[in-house]
Amino acid sequence: MEPITRRRAIGGALAVPAAAALARAAQAADPTEIDLFFPVPVQGKLADEMKKLVDRFNGEHPEIKVTAVYTGSYDDTNLKTRAAIKAGRPPAAVIMSANFVREYVINGEVDPFDPLIEKEGKTPAAYMDTFWAALKPNAVVDGKVYGVPYQNSTPLMYYSVAAFTDAGLDPDKPPTNWAEWLDAAKKLTKPGGERWGINFPGTYDYCGWITSALVMQNGGQYYNHDYGGEVYYNAPSSLGALTLLDTLVNKAKVMPPGVSDANTCTSAFFAGRLGTMLLSTGSLSFVRENMKAPYRVAFLPKSVRKAAPIGGASLILPKGNTPERQAAAWSLINWLTSPEIAGHWSRFTGYFAPRKAAYDLPEMKQYLQEHPDAEVALDQLAYAVPWFDTYNTVAVRKAMEDQVQAILSGKTSPADAAAAAQKSADELLRPYVEQTALKPV
């Protein structure tokens, strides 16, 4: 604390420009040190690229010294951030799975961005308008901005041109609804596991994401977007989606039984043993680099309507940091989400850039022209819906995922699964519901 008061005292005594120069010099000599927790949710080289970005930021901002801390998967990052906040050592900023933001707000563990935005003479609403509209529900909670979207995705249907031609399907006309999808999958499937029609990762997190996509395409809400205490696992829209999965795996047998992970899906796709797969737009670069045969991407096949849930991560400000650290974190966040850097990161990863202005830059226009698959991902944003976020998000998500995995393994019926998922989710949500919606007045 002491050096700051001394600096201020000197500053007060000198003429203004000299004071400013002195303050800058003093800052340069003693930069504000902050840490950024970041997960690596997609393929490897990202950790390297993130460190390069942070080095560049540090070079351009001598008054701030950022350390990029790799913190594992989205779930590990959540765990480490929680633990660090509770232990009294909150990081200055975190790239957090976008659907965990609400829970941090419910637990009172994050600060809103509103004061920082207002300090720059903008309104929070105008600030959020610079991002794609679909990102807002996961970033704004109770009318305040708690997350700044950084890397975002939606699920996408990848399909193999060779497999389509081989099965007598027209690669220019990918299936657009569930009936066409099932029909195409039947033609694509070859016996003995030689080629499957459909697959998607059924592992935790991915499983819930894809399930919510199917339910929302089926016209459903899946969960209450405005209140963290309700899910609609046993609604007709959910039951219909679970029935589709049961049909794909156990009746039509066009999808491999059991739970596949992302590696299994991509390996099979690269090897020509998979016709269509649902995978994140965040995988675009990885697939583009490794798929030797021609492939294309298309919107998710619809049922009642077109819908694709948002995925990816936002930057958050954990509670308990000094105003200096928070101001430094805000500089970093503004820089990382600037059109130029956001566009660069998007081209490197395959994630779409959350900041709309990124797509006005010439290098981004050129990129979309060269890579029509990235353009499809962007067009699908028109149908994007928010990402599952409730009280106790992970546990409530798993309540459904466990049942979906049981369906994929042929161990339960759709009706039983929907009822069981709803029952255990209700139990997990009860503590929050009793403190909010059911609280006696």
Partner 1 sequence: MRADGRLLGLIIAGAAAVLWAVPFLWMAIASLRPGVPPDIASLTPAGPFALANFAEAWRSGDFPLWYLNTVLVCGGILVVQLVTITAAGYAFARLRFPGRDLLFVLFLLQLLLIPALLIVPNLATLVTLHLYDTLPGIMAPYCASAFGTFLMRQTFRAIPRDYEEAAMLEGASIPVLIRHVLVPLARPGLIAFAIVSVTAHWNEFLWPLMAVSSPKNQVLTVGLASFASGAEAGSAWGIVAAGTFLVAGPLLVLFLIFQRRFVSSFIFSGIK
Residues making contact with partner 1 (CB under 8 A):
35, 37, 40-45, 47-48, 67-74, 76, 79-80, 82-84, 86-89, 91, 153, 205-206, 262-263, 265-267, 270-272, 279-280, 282-283, 286-287, 290, 292, 311
Q: State the pairing for strand pair 311-318/148-153.
A: antiparallel
Question: Which of 178, 345 has the CB closer to partner 1?
Answer: 345
Least distance (Å) between residue 70 CB and partner 1: 4
Q: Rounded to whole angstroms, how far apart are CA atoms 35 and 57?
A: 13
Q: Which of 243, 260 has the CB closer to partner 1?
A: 260
Q: Which is nearer to partner 1, 76 or 129 (CB)?
A: 76
Would you say 42 or 145 has its CB closer to partner 1? 42
Count of C-beta atoms within a 10 Å radius of residue 297: 21
- Nearer residue to partner 1 within complex by CB, 59 or 88: 88
Closest approach, Cβ 54 to partner 1, in A, equals: 11
Least gap, CB of 398 to partner 1 (angstroms):
15
Helix (H, G, I), strand (E, B), or coil: what is residue 2?
helix
Cα dihedral sign for 80, 83, 89, 91?
A: positive
- Residue 157: in which H helix or E strand, if any? strand 155-160
Query: What's the min distance (Å) between Cβ of 93 and partner 1?
Result: 13
Of 189, 216, 237, 235, which Cα lies nearest the Cα of 301?
A: 216
Nearer to partner 1, 90 or 343 (CB): 90
- Give CA–CA dist 86/16, Å, rounded: 42
If you search the block for the tokens 């991915």, which residue do you land on?
Answer: 206
Q: Quote the CA–CA distance of 80 and 253 in Å, as a whole number.
A: 41
What is the 3-class SS of 172-183, one letter each residue? CCCCCEHHHHHH
Give me the least distance between CB of 228 and partner 1, in Å please. Answer: 23
Minimum separation from the CB atom of position 428 to partner 1 (A):
19
In whole angstroms, what separates CA 195 from the centre of its chain?
30
Whole-angstrom Cα distance, residue 98 to residue 96? 6
Query: In whole angstroms, what separates CA 23 from the centre of its chain?
Result: 40
Nearest-approach distance from CB 16 to partner 1, in angstroms:
38
Closest to partner 1 by CB, 292 or 439: 292
Nearer to partner 1, 73 or 107 (CB): 73
- Cβ 278 to partner 1, closest distance in Å? 12
Going by C-alpha positions, the residue among 194, 203, 181 that lies closest to residue 298 is: 181
CA dihedral 163, 169, 170, 175 (to 10 degrees): -100
